[in-house]
Amino acid sequence: MDAFVTPGLVLKETRYKESDRILTLLTPGYGVISASAQSSLRLKSRLFSACGLFCYSEFTLLPGKNMYTVRDASVKNVFHGLSSSIEGMSLAMYLSELAAALSPTGSEAEKELRLLLNCLYMISEQKADLRAIKAVFELRTMSECGFLPQLVCCKGCAAYDGPAFYLDAEEGTLLCANCAAKAGKSCNLDAGALFALRHICLVEDKKIFAFKISIGSLNKLSAVAEQYALHHLDKPLKSYSFLKSVLP
């Protein structure tokens, strides 16, 4: 097969032999793929910069039996600010591992790439609270990968708003305070967190970070988003434990 060109974000890099790297790439047309970047760890290699972790580059790939081979690569964007804090770098690692674990394809892969690039930019430029960025990615990516919760109203009585609600992570449904009490559940969302939850899951891409939330509501939103995302994954993420140690 002939070589082809595609943009891609480096989600993971693994050293192989003396100077080679095995890359995990998120691409808009092919989803999550693996590619061998030979000699890319040599400083004089034309692949050195473009194949680095979290680099968004344009790759020329040659299909192979088990993985692709990087023939050429040029940098489109590098998120230099990610390394300015251990919390930001840890969050970037977690988001990338979550994206790789979901392995989106088709239109889902394009949306996932756009969302992850947006979140990495927000982390790199310190544009938002890291917990808010984390919650946005967890909720939006799960929604776009087929796990959109039912957010219109209470499952029990159809109430739209109220001072407190409960989001069932397993069923993906809402219960108002009264219905949650009847079911023996403790509410995990206040009014601010519920508003942000609906906004993140349903708004158009360019407005996804256009919400304001109090610290108390963010605490509730962060906990619910994390629980919801991790519940729907097939396996635990290696980056999760370390992230929680630096960003509780």
The span from the CA of 177 to the CA of 165, in Å, is: 5
Global pTM reads: 0.96
Q: Which residue has the higher pLDDT, 20 or 17?
A: 20
Per cent of the chain over pLDDT 70 is 100
pLDDT tens for each residue of 140-160: 999 999 999 999 999 999 999
pLDDT for position 166: 98
Q: Does the pLDDT of residue 234 top 90, yes or no?
A: no
The span from the CA of 209 to the CA of 13, in Å, is: 29
pLDDT for position 227: 97
Encoded amino acid at 218, one letter:
L
Q: Does the pLDDT of residue 239 top 80, yes or no?
A: yes
pLDDT tens for each residue of 85-139: 999 999 999 999 999 999 999 999 999 999 999 999 999 999 999 999 999 999 9
The span from the CA of 120 to the CA of 91, in Å, is: 9
Locus of tokens 């993985």: 67
pLDDT tens for each residue of 75-93: 999 999 999 999 999 999 9
